[in-house]
Amino acid sequence: MTSFTRSALVALAAGVFGASAGAQAAPTQQGSSTAWTIDPNHTSAHFAVRHMLVSTVRGDFDKVSGTIQWDGKDVRSISAQVTIDAASVDTHVERRDDDLRSANFFDVAKYPTITFVSTKAEPGEAGHFNLTGNLTMHGVTREVVLDVEGPMPPISQGAMRRTGVSATTKIDRRDFGLLYNRVVEGAAVVGDEITITIDLEAVRRGG
């Protein structure tokens, strides 16, 4: 086993830079809300974890998809369904990434996706809202609350409208059955608390 220095997720937030997005599906209507499609070229989930109590190491999930429902006005109308490809984990160390994909941690052969389905959105501090939902990872579902900055005022790019959010939360990896660890000189190699940040951009067609 390699020295695991990163673990955890993802699921909602804002990234406006990078490669062009390509074609996007037209929105559907659900009541007064419009479906926004997550733009995978401008969306990623990041995680950070303590390593041996001396440093913080970081990683990403590069493949994120899903839809956001929002009426364009009230954050309480927001709902989200997000899917992360667990095999897309990337800590920039190949051996560590292979270990994370193995049965030691995410076991992607058995649990290929990480999902988040929101259940409630509530206004928070200025420019923020709280998004409560069910996070399913490694075959375990737990309720989490995301502190979300945004949504950003939509802007137009050709026929598309774009908005973004940036979300953060913390989880205990043990709550999701991610129990593997080693101890070196009295210090756990992998911390239990995972900080998650999700940068998400969403698009819809039309005005």
pLDDT at 35: 94
Q: What is the average pLDDT across 170-195?
A: 81
Please report, for the domain that includes residue 69, its CATH number: 2.40.128.110
Q: What is the average pLDDT across 25-41?
A: 68
Indicate the helix (H) or strand (E) that contains 120.
strand 113-123
Token code pair at residue 98 = 């292979």
Per the structure, how many domains does the chain have?
Answer: 1
Is residue 11 in a domain? no
How far is Cα 114 from Cα 103, in angstroms, rounded to an integer? 15
Q: What is the average pLDDT across 121-148?
A: 96
Is residue 1 in a domain? no
Q: What is the span of the domain harbouring residue 91?
A: 29-205
Burial class (CB in 10 A: 0-12, 13-18, 19+), 17: exposed
pLDDT at 3: 40
Q: Decide which of 153 and 13 is more confident.
A: 153
Is residue 8 in a domain? no
pTM of the model: 0.79
Model confidence at 207, pLDDT cuts 50, 70, 90, reads: low
Is residue 68 in a domain? yes
